[in-house]
Homo-oligomer: A and B are copies of this chain.
Amino acid sequence: MRFFSDNAAAACPAVLDALAEANRLDTAYDGDQWSRRLDGAFSDLFETEVRALWVTTGTAANCIGLATLCPPYGAILCHRDAHIENDEAGAPGFYTNGAKLMLVDGPGAKLTVDAVAEARGRVRADVHQVQPKAVSITNATEYGLTYSADETATLGEFARSHGLGFHLDGARFANAVVSTGAKPADLTWRAGVDVMSFGFVKNGGLNAEALVFFRTELADEALVLRKRAGHLLSKGRYLAAQLLAMLENDAWLDNARAANAAAQALAAAAGPRLVHPVQANELFVRMTPAEAAKLRAQGFDFYDWAPGEIRLVTSWDQDMEAVGRLAAAIEAL
């Protein structure tokens, strides 16, 4: 019974069907009929004109997006626990040709305007120091918290008024939309977001993610960067078809609802053991090694996060009976 990562889950049926449907002759790269429908499909979803590109990983989506916002000699303000800092092997530096991540602290991997302003304020506006050019947030965060539309808009306003680009890592954006009940538009462009990575793989996709530009004029450069990084697949229609399948049937929302519900069931059981509020599909739970071993002995698989702390991640296809057993097992500790 796996609770260690939504990355390990299977692809959902709509995605597999879409692959089969796309398995026919069509134009190479992104000239096919599916890829050409992406801008429209995401524009509908976001209630404004956007441009949307497929890529195969969140790292590629994040870093191509960041590279359109930040020059090689600039810095990106982000949380110390952000995925771009901790889990992308320096890809932001690679894609931006050398930009720097300027790290900001705050509970739950969440940025506040105060913390961002303080970090930015420490930089002298001279040629000796690297100047911030963008802010990046993750919603839901790496610790499973969400930004509300208002929280996002406050950061967006700060970014705008200081000439900073605003990037959103939406690896678990679906979970945030479901959790906050906010419209996708309110969590993004209406809040000042310029570009986002929109995650599908952790949410039942097979290997397609979306890179969505609300500042549509940035997309042309992104097309070049995608190709230059070897991310323009020659049979891109299989990626586009996955994205369309998950959007058109609201599978992306259904999947996220299922994962979030499983997380809530576990959160209720974990109660005071929770390190962070559970607002998406991740739980960080205080637990002694002996307790963790006891759960593992019952067949539950998860990640040791820190001394005395485990991480549980739920997925779109989580077996609710297994969830119930884990909840009971936690309560029984």
Contact = CB atoms under 8 A, between A and B. Distances in A.
Interface of A: 2, 5, 7-11, 16, 19-20, 23-29, 55-63, 72-73, 75, 86-91, 93-95, 97-101, 127-130, 201-202, 206-207, 223-235, 238-239
Given A25-B9, A26-B8, A73-B225, A57 B128 contact: no
Contacts of A99: 90, 93
Contact of A228 (B8, B16, B28, B90): B90
22 contacts: A7-B28, A8-B25, A8-B27, A11-B238, A16-B23, A19-B206, A58-B234, A59-B227, A60-B229, A60-B230, A75-B90, A86-B128, A87-B129, A88-B228, A89-B128, A89-B228, A91-B227, A93-B100, A100-B100, A206-B235, A206-B238, A207-B233
B10 A228 contact: no
A5 B28 contact: yes
Given A9-B25, A59-B230, 12 more contacts: A16-B20, A57-B234, A58-B234, A63-B230, A72-B93, A72-B97, A73-B228, A90-B99, A90-B130, A94-B229, A97-B98, A229-B230
A98 B89 contact: no
Contact of A227 (B89, B223, B230): B89
Contacts of A55: 230
Nearest to A86: B129
Contacts of A206: 19, 23, 235, 238
Contacts of A227: 59, 88-89, 91, 127-128
A236 to B, nearest CB: 8
A223 to B, nearest CB: 5
Contacts of A16: 19-20, 23
This chain's copy number in the assembly: 4
Contacts of A24: 10
**Most-contacted residue by chain B among A8, A129, A226 (CB, 10 A):** A8
A89 B63 contact: no
Nearest to A11: B23
A72 B225 CA distance: 10
A99 B228 CA distance: 11
**Most-contacted residue by chain B among A23, A94, A228 (CB, 10 A):** A228
A231 B87 CA distance: 13
A149 B56 CA distance: 36
A311 B68 CA distance: 36
Nearest to A223: B127
Given A128-B87, A128-B227, A129-B87, A234 B202 contact: yes
A230 B232 contact: no
B7 A235 contact: yes
Given A20-B16, A127-B227, A206-B238, A93 B98 contact: yes
Given A10-B25, A63-B230, A129-B87, A93 B93 contact: yes
**Most-contacted residue by chain B among A5, A29, A90, A129 (CB, 10 A):** A90
